[in-house]
Amino acid sequence: MALDDRKSDGFTFVGTRPNRPDGLDKVTGRARFGADASAPGMLHGAILRSPHAHARILRIDTSKAEALKDVKAVVTRADFSDKVEFAPGLEGDFWNILENVMAGDKALYDGHAVAAVAATSALAARDALKLIEVEYEVLPHVTDVDKAMLMDAPVIRQGAADYSVPEGMHPNVVRKHESGHGDVEAGFAEADLVIEDHFTTEATHQGYIEPHACLATLGADGKGELWCCTQGHWIVQKTCAALLGIETANLRVTASEIGGGFGGKTTVFIEPVALALSRKANKPVKLVMSRSEVFRATGPTASASMDIKIGMKKDGTLTAAQGTFRLQGGAFPGGPADFTAMCAFAPYNLPHVRQVGYDVMTNRPKQAAYRAPGSPMAAFAVESVIDELCNQLGLDPIEVRLKNASREGTKASYGPRFQRIGLVETLEAAKAHPHYTAPLKPGQGRGISCGFWFNHGGETSVSLALSEDGSAQVMVGTPDIGGSRASMALMAAEVLGIPYENIRVTIADTATLGYNDVSHGSRVTYASGLATIKAARHAVEKLCERAAKKWGIPVDAVKWENGCAVPSGPNAGEFDPLPLADITADMGRTGGPISGHFEATPEGAGVSFATHIVDAEVDPETGKTKVVRYTVVQDAGKAIHPTYVEGQFQGGAAQGIGWALNEEYIYGADGRLQNSVFLDYRIPVASDLPMIDTVIVEVPNPGHPFGVRGVGETSICPPLAAIANAVSAAAGARMRQLPMSPPRILAALKADG
Amino acid sequence: MQYHSPESFAQAARLAAEAEGVTRFLAGGTDVLVQLRADIVTPDTLIDIKKIPGTHDITRNGDGSWTLGVAVPGAELGEHAGLVADWPGVVEAMNLVGSTQVQGRATLTGNLCNGSPAADSVPAMVAASMTATVTGPDGERVVAVEDIPTGPGRTSLARGEVISALHIPARGENAGDAYLRFIPRSEMDIAVVGCAVNLRLDGDTITEARVSLGAVAPTVLLVGDAAAAIIGSTLDDAALDRLAAAASAACKPIDDKRGTIAFRTEVAGVLAKRVARIAYARAKGEIIKGHHG
Amino acid sequence: MSKIHVSTTVNGDAVEYLCDPRETLLDCLRDKLSLTGAKEGCGTGDCGACSVTLDGRLVCSCLVLGVEAEGKEIGTVEGIAEGDVLHPLQQKFIDYAALQCGICTPGILVAAKALLEQNPDPTEEEVRFWLAGNLCRCTGYDKIIRAVMDTARDMRETA
Amino acid sequence: MVEVHLWSGLRSLAGGCEVVSVEARDTGEMLRALVRAHPELQAPIDAGVSVAIDGRVIASGLTEPIPDGAEVYLMQRLRGG
């Protein structure tokens, strides 16, 4: 462990490991998640979903359902309904979201919502769905990314492509990204060995344990209340208001405790439907997805088909790299092909590099962000080829990566030069870790991989209010997914100099704080943390002003130290330190309440890198893989609460293990999802995993007052490749397709043997 | 849905015989409730048999045979030292079904009547020559376990018939049974292939054997050729190879989301060898715990 | 469809409710008794978030019908603490940061408590297999397993 | 003058140029100037771009100052998960 409770870095609170403020609520069952709310007179909603992958909706007859006494509202998008439930005339992203939450002319994937009911009980709502008659004209469908690009593929939607797609491509190709520098052909000519290979990954789901849930109230006066589990309630507010045709400020959204998101709760699915039902029924409506609905109709990640070509000299120097990345993002534009391309070669200093990404539509659910969207699959393909180059040239994989690693000043594969980054430090720490040199047993293989993610800032508002007794309330707008209340309180305590326990952090609703971007892009500790620090500093300025006034000296002669106003130097005068609580005790009579604020869009989220080491054991007779040892090394910039940083590292690794070995969306020939339950969508269980060791590297981010870099996403970038490299070593056969399921590994063993 | 909790099997059979529409019996409920919840099967009549006397009992009969109540959950089988000592294969097969939580509810009878070709406990019950008492409107009959499933989701039970007890023969001397399955994870999956072996020794030589396979055909397979491959042997390498070949040859699997034809066929042979070794060691008196016992 | 009257005991308190025979015990706990500590993560017995004890036996409350609770003793996460004194597992989960989002935590606590009551000295492997039916997507299980093992150690020492 | 480096997918919209020189003191001015110079760049800029100034990535801000001689790259707009 790189950090402990001994403080040697000038921080008092930051870097310690106190208990999270919401711990008690969460171990006693008291914490209220999305489905835990209810309201007087509440109705229960349910959604009817298309059983077809692609079908024209010819007719929807809701009359039998509406005739039921228990049914209070039915909504559809149908133009032939008397009243349009959703706002007409939407364009762009809002139109795409509306089309996704309730199908228009066509059902675009198995599970696409086509109608919804609100009834007096959940059972009554489910029963009512069975009485809704939908007449479909089933259309040809396509769910595979490569097939969707073929000229004879069914067209999901004409005209969805943007400016970037060259003429002559299939209409399902909706965006193209191309970047790089140098002359890759010249670079390949300089290489002693060039490897070119093809890789695929399947779509995986974020797999949060809490299904989407909300409780909506919308009256005829256009004023609404919405409670929901979301990674960002302001985006919910903005989107729902647009889809329902009401003013944003008239919809107040409160974020419940959130049972996991990983990117999948950064958009809306059921919330606009619940609001529409509520408006029609004039009663509160609770809508909760089943697990099957979560799998069929919320964002999995994109699947990918990738071609990689990399050249290396005998001494391990990379000469050139080229990649083509085709990402399948479901029935709407948005597959993260651009990020896949931009992240692919970011860890390496390459004189010649070219990357091309294609965003391709298929008859699958609209992909949603999943932890570093696009980057893990790129790392899988690229780091597999680098591993193979090292194998064939007899080179140490960490030495080769160190030799070519991006550093401060390196021209990134995606364009600009890197600022201070910590890739080399993670590689050095991995090399020094006992894991890297530990002996392997027969049948085991070791793999390593690097990973990269950009991280994000985003709009951020924080308000901090002091109480008369000297305690502080911090209101932030980013839902706490994994202990961020604790990090915020630590940063506020650091600035204010008051005990961690005297600070209460609340996730404010949309009516009580300014706009906040979603909890995504690993931005919470970075951006809400920066905002908390600045809001606390703002309050400290005011505290210093009160002290200056009391002492009769200029404010610039007062400084803040250990929770007290003190004279800034001998010339300022002789005054005893004035503790925060002494100032706040009579603040009402010395100028009024003291609060601090921050509202801005921080632009300094430092990019981050990680290096993972993994040992895998393959059963040669069955192809079954067991991950026997795992070590995550990642640059956190500065770990505010190291325990929760470790938790992010471990969680990312575990999700990566699932993605690499067992998780996948399986579609039948009929275009229907075959594994929409946890029984067959196989996320890792406790007995599948070893302990996951962590090393926190700290190369401070110059864009954050305490040096924080986001840590949530980078941790899922290296695992796919690291595990593939370990399995390939153990099996003696290169694995190019995820998941590396036992049948695939056994087939590879047979082909090789 | 009408819910009944009769106090005798005769009453349960009568209710089932007289009921209209779809009838389901409720023991542990771990399949019935999943199907109900997912709108796959919503019974018109649900007959909870857990209030019938004897359904929670594990009884060792005077002749060494066992009678199991139909509502005994897997966890209770696993906690019964005497049963585990006699029939570790049957118990470990049942204990592999689902999670600890599922073990608190799921029953051998339910696993059998659900009719899944991949049911873990069924190959072990077949290898153990278990039988079931079936109570119907016209009385009782005793049926071999392998004659109950007739295809995916289907059984040979007639309308109004309900399994009222399960029976395991007396263990006897120098015998052992075992069950293994292949799943991609370490827990919580449906078997991709399952295999049970039950055998008896005279000295080092196998004198009796039953080998059964799950998840490789529409119903559980009792593979006579596989048993013949090891009977008379000391489970030497040649016998094991013959066993594997016979097991693989018996497979009539499908390609589906859980496995391929080639994979199932290959792994059936691999498992058969591994299971036979465990059963053999147990017959020799070694205590070998289940894979996570 | 007529509803059925059920009398049962939850966390030691006698309670009653009326339920449709199709409703699960989880539905009844959450919607009729407002005990929302048990969560529905899957509804198919695959995630363990709804774990409760039924006459002392660990079960998924989504796989038990509400009507089956008649005359039974049910234990939920809300009954784990003794008044304001947390169960050692609860305290250790906070101390170890053995939760991130917290949605799986109630089920894991109920399951881990059942384990320690039956096996006060479990191996890591035993803990992992016992909890295999409790999915956690945030933590990678590392801190959860450590918290359970360390609680077991503490409880053995104080016993 | 600011030299703005385009990602290669944009070059066909900018007369094949890899680098476009514009007069601009901040990111917003720079983007407006790019569109004036090459109107076809309107579509990608409307779709969203980020800007790297001497390696510091500005995800969306239009008011970030651009110092003289800074190395400026356009990037696809950054999002997260």
pLDDT per residue as tens digits for the range A683-717: 999 999 999 999 999 999 999 999 999 999 999 99
- Other CB atoms within a 10 A radius of the CB of residue B5 amount to 17
Chain A closest-CA separation from residue D35 CA (Å)? 15
- In angstroms, what separates the C-alpha of D48 from chain A's closest C-alpha? 12
Q: What is the ipTM of this complex?
A: 0.97
Map out the domains of chain C with their CATH numbers: 4-79 (3.10.20.30), 88-158 (1.10.150.120)
Q: If you measure CA to CA, which chain C residue comes closest to B39?
A: C22
Instruction: Place D16 in a pLDDT band, splitting at 50, 70 and 90.
Output: very high
Q: How far are the Cα atoms of A222, B182, B216, B266, B274 from residue A621, in angstroms, in the given order?
A: 64, 11, 17, 9, 11
Which residue does chain D place closest to A93, by CA atoms?
Answer: D47
Average pLDDT, chain B: 96
Model pLDDT for residues A193-211, shown as the tens digit of each residue: 999 999 999 999 999 999 9
Phi, psi of A62 (to 5 degrees): -100, 5
Question: Which among A28, A291, A647 has the least Cβ separation from residue C143?
Answer: A647
- Measured CA to CA in angstroms, residue A587 lies from A324, A563, A581 at distances of 62, 16, 10
- C106·A644 Cβ contact <8 A: no
Q: Identify the structural domains of chain D with CATH numbers, from first to last.
A: 2-76 (3.10.20.30)
pLDDT value of residue A572: 86
Q: Are strands C57-60 and B221-222 parallel, antiparallel or unpaired?
A: unpaired
Q: Which of A77-81, A670-674, A746-750, B227-231 has the lowest mean pLDDT?
A: A77-81
8 Å CB contact of A417 and D71: yes
> B60 lies in a domain?
no
Pairing of strands A558-561, A503-507: unpaired
Neighbours of C64 (CB within 10 A): 28
Count CA atoms closer than 13 A to A316's CA, side-chain side.
16
* Chain C residues close to A26, C-beta within 8 Å: 99, 102, 105
- Domain tally for chain B? 1
Query: Least CA distance to A353: which residue of chain D?
Result: D8
pLDDT above 50 for A2: no
Query: Over the stretch A471-487, which tens digit does the pLDDT of each residue have?
Result: 999 999 999 999 999 99
Using one digit for the tens of pLDDT, what is the confidence trace for A116-154?
Answer: 999 999 999 999 999 999 999 999 999 999 999 999 999
- pLDDT level of residue A7 (50, 70, 90 thresholds): low
**Cβ contacts (< 8 Å) between A263 and chain D: which residues?**
80-81
How does residue B293 score in pLDDT terms, banded at 50, 70 and 90?
very low
Q: Residue B48 in contact with residue C68, Cβ under 8 Å?
A: yes
Render pLDDT for B153-185 as a digit per residue (tens, 0 to 9). 999 999 999 999 999 999 999 999 999 999 999
- State mean pLDDT over B50-72: 98
Q: Do A679 and C39 touch (CB under 8 A)?
A: no
- CA B223, chain centre distance (Å): 15
The DSSP H or E segment spanning A645 is: helix A642-661
Q: What is the CATH number of the domain that holds B198?
A: 3.30.390.50
Which residues of chain C have a CB within 8 Å of the CB of A1? none
Q: Examine the pLDDT at C101 and tell me if it is beyond 90.
A: yes
The pLDDT value recorded for residue A83 is 59
Neighbours of A680 (CB within 10 A): 18
- Residue B84 maps to a domain: no
What's residue A571's pLDDT? 86
pLDDT score recorded for residue D77: 86
**Helical (H) or strand (E) element with A327:** strand A318-328
Tokens of B242: 């013959």
pLDDT tops 60 at residue B292 = no
What is the average per-residue pLDDT within C25-32? 98
Distance between CA atoms of residues B273 and B109, nearest Å: 28
Smallest Cβ–Cβ distance between A369 and the set D9, D13, D79 belongs to D79
C-beta separation of A240 from A102 below 8 A: no
Nearest-angstrom CA–CA distance, B205 and B239: 11
Cis peptide before A684 (omega within 30 of 0): no
Residue C142 touches partner A, C-beta closer than 8 Å: yes
Using a CB–CB cutoff of 8 Å, tell me whether B63 touches chain A: no
A contacts of D44 (beta carbons < 8 Å):
163-164
- DSSP 8-state code for residue D39: G
Cβ contact A652:A722 at 8 Å: no
Stated pTM of the model: 0.97
- Tell me what pLDDT residue C159 has: 82
Contact C58 B100 (CB under 8 A): yes
Rg (CA), chain B: 19
Asked which of A579-588, B112-121, B270-279, D54-63 is least confident by mean pLDDT, the reply is D54-63
Domains of chain A (ranges, CATH numbers)? 23-31+457-600 (3.30.365.10), 420-454+606-752 (3.30.365.10)
Q: And the tokens for A264?
A: 């999948």
**Cβ(B174)–Cβ(B245) under 8 Å?**
no
A489 membership: H or E segment, kind and range: helix A484-496
- Asked if the Cβ–Cβ distance from B292 to C125 is below 8 Å, we say yes
Percent of chain B with pLDDT over 70: 99
Contact call for C139 and A651, based on CB within 8 A: yes
Q: Do A685 and B185 touch (CB under 8 A)?
A: yes
* Residue B47 located in a structural domain: no
Interface membership of B188 toward C (CB under 8 Å): yes
Among C45, C68, C132, the residue with its CB nearest the CB of B48 is: C68
Whole-angstrom distance, CA of residue B35 vs CA of residue A322 = 50
Tell whether B266 is covered by a domain.
Answer: yes
Asked if pLDDT for residue B125 goes beyond 60, the answer is yes
What pLDDT, on the 0 to 100 scale, is given for residue C1?
A: 56
Give the distance between the most distant pair of CA atoms in chain A: 87
pLDDT at D81 over 80: no
As a whole number, mean pLDDT of residues D39-44 equals 94
Strands (E), C28-139: 51-54, 57-60, 73-75
Beta pairing, strands B45-48 & B23-26:
parallel
Return phi, psi of residue C46, to 5°: -100, -15
Contact A305, A340 (CB under 8 A): no
Strand boundaries in chain C, DSSP class E = 4-10, 13-19, 51-54, 57-60, 73-75
Torsion of CA A310, A313, A319, A322, to 10 degrees: -10
pLDDT value at residue A81? 46
CB C3 within 8 A of CB B1: no
- Specify the pLDDT at position A231: 97
**What span, in angstroms and rounded, lies between the C-alpha atoms of A593 and A597?**
13
Cβ neighbours, 10 Å, residue D67:
10
Question: Is D21 near chain A, with CB under 8 Å?
Answer: no
Nearest CA in chain B to C55: B104
For A381-415, how does the pLDDT look when each residue is reduced to its tens digit (9 = 90+)? Answer: 999 999 999 999 999 999 999 999 999 999 999 99
Chains D, A in contact: 3+ Cβ pairs under 8 A? yes
First and final CA of chain A: distance in angstroms?
41
**Closest CA–CA distance from residue D36 to any residue of chain A (Å):** 18
Q: Is residue B264 part of a domain?
A: yes
Q: Is the peptide bond before A739 cis (omega within 30 degrees of 0)?
A: yes
Residues in chain A, overall count: 753
**pLDDT at residue A220, as a whole number:** 87
Looking at the complex, report in whole angstroms how far the Cα of residue B259 sits from the nearest Cα belonging to chain A: 7
Neighboring chain C residues of B28 at a CB cutoff of 8 Å:
63
Per the prediction, chain A carries an average pLDDT of 96
| Interchain contact, C44 vs A679, CB within 8 Å | yes
Backbone angles phi and psi of A607, in degrees to 5: -70, 160
**B55 belongs to a structural domain:** no
Q: How many C-beta atoms surround the C-beta of residue A139 within 10 A?
A: 18
Whether the per-residue pLDDT at A250 is higher than 70: the answer is yes
**What are the chain D neighbours of A370 within 8 Å (beta carbons)?**
81
- Which residue in C2, C59, C64 has the most chain B C-beta atoms within 10 A of its own C-beta, making it the best mutation to test that interface? C59
DSSP-derived 3-state class of residue A476 = strand
B214 is in which domain, residue-wise?
Answer: 175-283
Whether residue B128 is contained in a domain is answered as: no
The contacts found for B35-39 with CB under 8 angstroms, 24 or more apart, are B36/C22, B37/C24, B37/C43, B37/C44, B37/C62, B38/A292, B38/A677, B38/C43, B38/C44, B39/A126, B39/A130
How close, in Å, is residue A60 to chain D by CA atoms?
Answer: 35
Contact A742 B184 (CB under 8 A): yes
Residue B262 lies in a domain: yes
Cβ contact B188:B210 at 8 Å: no
Tokens of B119: 């049911």
